[in-house]
Amino acid sequence: MYKEIVLAVNPADKNDAPAEAAIGLAREHNAALVITYVHNPFFGEISMRERSSTHLKKMGRIKEDLQRKYAGKIQGLRQCSYFVVQGDPATEVLRIAGMIRADLIVLGPHPVKYEKKRSRARRLHKPEPRVSTMERVAQLADCPVMVVANTVSDIQLEYTHVVAATDFSPHAEHALQYAAQLAGIYKAKLLVLNVLETGALGPELPASEIRQRIQEAEQRLARDIIPNLGGGKKVVYECRPGRPEEEILKLAGENRAELIVMAHHSKEEDPQKAVLGSTVAKVALDSKCPTITINRPFEISNQH
């Protein structure tokens, strides 16, 4: 199913869950794995690098460290290569993924507060967008992006329950189609969820009105969404009131789902202009299972 997987790593990050998941998927699908590290220096380091040859030696040492770190873990993979480059992390990860035509990017959640600190330390003339590398990659990638916050066993990579969230936006439709493809390949149960954001409707909304809107949403799912997924009896759906991130995580926990699939929460038709909502970031950070985000149509091979 997967042929080319890009794994974005940070040698200083103690969380090796993304690497374990990417290596497990590469082994399971006989895919090539590209382990990528992007060195993102402060501006003072760039000017120093231009006057010194120590930069290449430093990058070489980082690559050797990565090769030693993963030498024992990548045994049995069809192919594994390493890219150690300098630049903006999101830009370079996307560039490498495009260059090799990756069909999956795997990375950790990388909280935005870390990048805010780096932005202040650089003393930029223009403020940087306050979004994390994960959010920017998920927003702009042409292929699916898997965010892994917690350790995943090889058994959990054999999906039996997949949660797919929708807000009825065009991006969510692409995510649903991708989730349906995965569920079909793994013969997994697909759980489609729409969340009625009660907080956005105002605190005085009567319970009867909430029930009516839930019923209307479930009718819309049954009429317009589910028939296009082709999953038969293995597709179930519901609408719940509450906060989207909380209800998505709750449904995944209730069913011990191995995967959550969703698009970013935005009505903007152009994903290049859309701002990634906090729902994806919060789900990815708090989910016990991996979260895949996808904003564009993406056909996957049915070979598994």
What's the average model confidence in pLDDT over 185-194?
95
Asked if residue 110 is part of any domain, the answer here is yes
* Domain final position from 120, 147, 174: 147
Domain's final residue, options 119, 147, 175: 147
The confidence band for 66, taking pLDDT boundaries of 50, 70 and 90, is very high
pLDDT at 58: 82
Lowest-pLDDT range of 9-23, 97-111, 225-239, 262-276: 262-276
What average pLDDT does the structure give for the chain? Answer: 84
Under 8 Å CB-to-CB from 56, ≥6 apart: which residues?
A: none
- In this predicted structure, what is the pLDDT of residue 102? 96
128 and 58 share one domain? yes
CA nearest to 152, candidates 258, 250, 252? 258
Summarised one tens digit per residue, pLDDT across range 251-298 is 999 999 999 999 975 454 554 444 445 688 889 889 999 999 998 889
**How far apart, in whole angstroms, are the C-alpha atoms of residue 79 and residue 267?**
39
CATH of the domain at 258: 3.40.50.620
- % of the chain surpassing 70 pLDDT: 79
Burial 230-269 (b: 16+ CB within 10 A, else e): ebeebbebebbbebbbebbbbbbeeeebbbbbbbbbbeee
**Residues 221 and 113 placed together within one structural domain of the fold:** no
- Residue 301 domain-assigned (yes or no): no
Residues 181 and 104 in one domain: no
Domain that holds residue 86: 4-147
- Indicate whether 119 pLDDT > 60: no
